[in-house]
């Protein structure tokens, strides 16, 4: 595979942008080699500037559930762009998208749009603290909720990839309010409640997608709900990744547990920058201008992002059966990878939730961050590199998640599995 132009582009980018990227994981540091610089996407494929074609299992880290350049979403975006790209004033589009999401999520009476998952979570936490008049929060090791100060503690995703799950520049005065519990371990949460009577919220990815794909057990989430109720603490589900990905109703649609607040991103913008947080009326009315908790943004509810989101959610709502199809493909892909690993006696485990998939080079079922850290990262890096050479674009870290889009055909899945057989043989 020729990556000459990408190599040049990367060197050039490094002169002007730290590490050459605007989000660390994209630099491929954990898998080595040059990240292909992307020229365009079409359907299931990515094309880089050297002319290489890849089957894309990243799909912009989740948003592109209908693949690249889906005609309906593309038309909705182009149509809106012609009418003006930003007003900093209300449009009916915001209400339209809000209505769609509220109608699907029982836990959401009202919602506010922002520009990213980081912003959504940061704002939801401020609201939770304002509403409860408490300061502490509980987060789980390995969960990633964006890079705001309070949450960059024991964080997954890029932070875990680079072995810096906390960051310089985050004052200890702030992080002392963040208590860390162990995913899928209710006793660790009970200990937090014992240590602090000042817990405003427990925040969790109900399907963790940032330490690899690690779903929370239903019983664990039920216990969590109970503990929060007993302690007048809000339960926040971070569904930035799982919202509209795991099912039409996100992780909540699978486990049937209602959080007090939910954060969204990715799919609700159809690939445009977006985030949102929502919840019960009683809590949401604390938000400015209705209430005293301040939160704002010029590009919030941006019309182009709203139009893309509406087109995406409409397509999903009119065809909910696609989740069955996507999940079937994800399962087939993971069964294929598993069989390829088994054939070479390589320790390997997989997970699937809706259109999300994950795998670890490990011999134990991964239930939490400690388990995830035990995966063979060197072998992952070799696997990733060899798959890329064969035109298969997978997330470039074992602490991320893979995504199936409707554009990915059964034949592409089989092609990917064949490549996995070859690669497993090579890395055995």
* Candidate list 210, 247, 302, 405; residue touching ligand HOZ; CB under 6 A: 210
* Candidate list 61, 220, 357, 403; residue touching ligand HOZ; CB under 6 A: 61
> Please, what is the minimum distance in Å from the beta carbon of residue 281 to ligand HOZ?
31
- CA dist 279 to 1, 29, 286, 335, 357, Å? 48, 38, 11, 37, 27
Residue 125 token pair = 């936490």
Give the chain's end-to-end CA distance (angstroms, integer).
22
- CA dist 144 to 24, 30, 56, 226, 426, Å? 14, 18, 23, 23, 33
Residue with Cβ nearer ligand HOZ (34 or 157): 157
121: contact with ligand HOZ by CB under 6 A: no
Decide: residue 324, CB within 10 A, 0-12 exposed, 13-18 middle, 19+ buried.
exposed
69 phi and psi, to 5 degrees? 55, 40
CB 223 within 8 A of CB 186: yes
Phi-psi region of 61 (alpha: psi -120 to 50; beta: other; left: phi over 0): left
115: contact with ligand HOZ by CB under 6 A: no
157: contact with ligand HOZ by CB under 6 A: yes
| Site size with ligand HOZ, rule: CB under 6 A | 8
> Please, what is the minimum distance in Å from the beta carbon of residue 403 to ligand HOZ?
11
> Please, what is the minimum distance in Å from the beta carbon of residue 116 to ligand HOZ?
10
Residue with Cβ nearer ligand HOZ (157 or 302): 157
Residue with Cβ nearer ligand HOZ (233 or 397): 397
Q: Cα torsion at 281, 282, 283, 284 (round to 10°)?
A: 30
Residues 277 to 316: which contact ligand HOZ by CB under 6 A? Answer: none
> Please, what is the minimum distance in Å from the beta carbon of residue 232 to ligand HOZ?
32
118: contact with ligand HOZ by CB under 6 A: no
Per-residue DSSP letters for 253-313? HHH----SEEEEEGGGGTTSS-EEEEE-HHHHTTBTTTSSB----TTTT-HHHHHHHHHHH
- DSSP E strand boundaries for 2-63: 38-42, 45-48, 53-56
Enzyme catalytic residues: 144, 238, 266
Residue with Cβ nearer ligand HOZ (213 or 235): 213
Pattern 15-54, binding to ligand HOZ, x per CB under 6 A? --------x-xx----------------------------
Residue, CB closest to ligand HOZ:
23
95: contact with ligand HOZ by CB under 6 A: no
Q: Which residues bind ligand HOZ (CB under 6 A)?
A: 23, 25-26, 61, 157-158, 210, 400
């Amino acid at each position: 595979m020729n990556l000459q132009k990408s190599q040049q582009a990367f060197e050039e980018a490094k002169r002007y942008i730290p590490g050459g990227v605007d989000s660390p994981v994209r630099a491929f540091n954990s898998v080595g080699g040059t990240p292909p610089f992307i020229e365009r996407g079409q359907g299931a494929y990515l094309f880089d500037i050297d002319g290489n074609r890849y089957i894309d299992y990243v799909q912009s880290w989740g948003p592109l559930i209908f693949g690249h350049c889906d005609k309906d979403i593309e038309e909705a975006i182009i149509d809106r762009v012609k009418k003006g790209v930003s007003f900093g004033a209300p449009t009916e589009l915001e209400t339209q998208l809000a209505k769609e999401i509220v109608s699907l999520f029982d836990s959401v009476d009202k919602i506010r749009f922002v520009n990213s998952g980081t912003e959504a979570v940061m704002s939801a936490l401020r609201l939770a603290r304002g509403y409860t008049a408490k300061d502490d929060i509980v987060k789980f090791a390995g969960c990633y909720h964006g890079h705001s100060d309070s949450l960059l503690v024991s964080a997954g995703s890029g932070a875990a990839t680079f072995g810096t799950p906390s960051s310089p520049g985050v004052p200890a005065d702030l992080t002392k309010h963040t208590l860390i519990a162990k995913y899928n371990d209710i006793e660790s949460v009970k200990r937090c409640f014992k240590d602090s009577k000042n817990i405003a919220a427990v925040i969790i990815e109900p399907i963790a997608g940032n330490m690899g794909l690690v779903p929370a057990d239903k019983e664990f989430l039920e216990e969590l709900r109970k503990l929060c109720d007993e302690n007048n603490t809000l339960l926040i589900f971070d569904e930035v990744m799982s919202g509209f990905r795991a099912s039409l109703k996100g992780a909540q649609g699978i486990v049937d547990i209602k959080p007090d607040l939910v954060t969204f991103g990715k799919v609700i913008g159809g690939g445009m920058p977006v985030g949102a947080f929502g919840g019960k009326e009683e809590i949401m009315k604390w938000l400015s201008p209705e209430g005293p908790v301040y939160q704002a943004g010029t590009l919030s509810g941006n019309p182009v992002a709203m139009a893309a989101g509406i087109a995406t959610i409409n397509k999903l709502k009119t065809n909910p059966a696609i989740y069955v199809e996507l999940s079937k493909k994800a399962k087939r892909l993971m069964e294929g990878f598993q069989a390829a690993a088994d054939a070479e006696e390589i320790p390997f485990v997989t997970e699937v939730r809706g259109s999300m998939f994950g795998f670890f080079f490990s011999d134990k079922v991964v239930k939490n961050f400690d388990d995830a850290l035990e995966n063979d990262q060197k072998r992952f890096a070799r696997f990733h590199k060899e798959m890329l050479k064969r035109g298969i674009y997978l997330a470039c870290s074992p602490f991320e998640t893979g995504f199936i889009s409707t554009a990915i055909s059964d034949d592409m899945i089989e092609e990917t599995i064949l490549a996995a057989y070859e690669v497993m043989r090579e890395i055995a």
